[in-house]
C-alpha cells in the first residue's frame, strides 16, 4: 500500500505503525496529509508567524513539521532516528538543520543572493539533510515559501498546480532540478520553483 516514488523516503514497518488514524490506501493517506499541510500553511502564513524572530531556527522548523503532519503521524516534528537511502546520518541532523538556517540568515543579512535564491538554497539544504521520516520535500518547500513571504517577495509556485507527491512530469522535473542543485547548479531548481 505505501510504496515510495522516486525521491520519496521509504517507510519502515515500525514507522507505518505510527500513523494516527488507519488508512486503507495511499490515496487516503495523501489526502489526510494534504489537509493537515493546508492547515499548517494557513497558520504559518499569518503575519504573527512570518514576523517571528525564530523563523530560521531548528525549533521553528520542528514546530512547522509537527503542525504539517500531527494529525497523521505520531512522529511529526521529530527528527528521524534511522538511516535512509537519502540524507544525513541521524546523529548529524540537528547540527545540519541549524547550519542550514544559520547559512540562510547570513545570506539574507549580507544580501549574498536575491530572496528567491536564498529560499531555494535553504530548500535544497534541508532536502539534502532529509531530517524527517517523511515530508522532507513538502517541509522544505513550505520553509522556502515562508522565507519568501517574510521577505515580502513574489510567491514561489513550485510547478503551479502540480501534485509533487504523485508521480508525473512535474515530480520528475522537480527531482531532476534537486539533483542538478546537488552539483551546484541551482538555476533549474530556481526556474522550477518559479514555474
Q: Which of 70-74, 159-163, 169-173 is the most confident on average?
A: 70-74
Asked if residue 13 has pLDDT above 90, the reply is: no
> Does residue 19 sit in helix, strand or coil?
strand
How many folded domains does the chain comprise?
1
- Do the domain assignments include residue 186? no
- Do the domain assignments include residue 114? yes
Look up the pTM and report it: 0.91
Rounded Cα distance between 140 and 18, Å, is: 22
- Do the domain assignments include residue 61? yes
∠ Cα 137 142 144 (to 5°)? 95
State the CATH number of the domain containing residue 64: 1.10.3290.10
Rounded Cα distance between 162 and 82, Å, is: 30
Grid cell listed for 46: 499569518
Asked if residue 175 has pLDDT above 70, the reply is: yes
Asked if residue 165 has pLDDT above 80, the reply is: no
Domain holding 90, by residue range, is 13-155
Give residue-wise pLDDT tens across range 56-95. 999 999 999 999 999 999 999 999 999 998 999 999 999 9
Cell 535564491 maps to which residue? 117
For 69-122, give the DSSP string.
HTTTBTTTTS---S--SSS--GGGHHHHHHHHHHHHHHHHHTT-S-HHHHHHHH
Residue 94's Cβ-count burial label (10 Å; 0-12, 13-18, 19+) is middle
For 117-130, give the DSSP string.
HHHHHHHHHHHHH-
Q: Hey, which residues does 19 pair with through a beta bridge? A: 73
Residue 96's Cβ-count burial label (10 Å; 0-12, 13-18, 19+) is buried
- Do the domain assignments include residue 36? yes
- Cα diameter, the chain: 49
Q: Hey, which residues does 73 pair with through a beta bridge? A: 19
- Do the domain assignments include residue 132? yes
Amino acid at each position: 500500500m505505501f510504496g515510495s516514488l522516486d525521491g520519496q523516503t521509504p517507510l519502515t514497518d515500525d514507522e507505518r505503525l505510527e500513523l494516527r488514524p488507519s488508512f486503507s490506501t495511499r490515496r487516503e493517506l495523501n489526502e489526510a496529509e494534504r489537509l493537515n499541510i493546508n492547515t499548517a500553511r494557513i497558520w504559518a502564513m499569518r503575519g504573527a508567524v512570518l514576523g517571528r524572530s525564530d523563523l530560521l531556527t531548528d525549533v521553528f522548523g520542528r514546530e512547522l513539521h509537527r503542525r504539517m503532519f500531527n494529525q497523521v503521524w505520531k512522529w511529526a516534528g521529530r527528527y528521524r532516528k534511522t538511516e535512509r537511502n537519502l540524507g544525513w546520518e541521524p546523529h548529524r541532523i540537528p547540527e545540519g538543520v541549524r547550519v542550514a538556517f544559520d547559512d540562510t540568515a547570513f545570506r539574507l543579512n549580507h544580501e549574498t543572493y536575491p530572496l528567491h535564491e536564498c529560499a531555494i538554497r535553504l530548500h535544497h539544504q534541508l532536502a539534502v539533510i532529509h531530517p524527517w521520516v517523511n515530508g522532507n520535500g513538502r517541509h522544505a518547500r513550505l520553509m522556502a515559501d515562508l522565507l519568501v513571504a517574510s521577505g515580502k517577495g513574489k510567491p514561489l509556485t513550485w510547478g503551479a498546480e502540480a501534485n509533487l507527491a504523485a508521480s508525473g512530469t512535474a515530480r520528475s522535473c522537480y527531482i531532476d532540478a534537486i539533483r542538478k542543485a546537488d552539483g551546484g547548479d541551482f538555476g533549474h531548481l530556481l526556474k522550477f520553483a518559479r514555474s
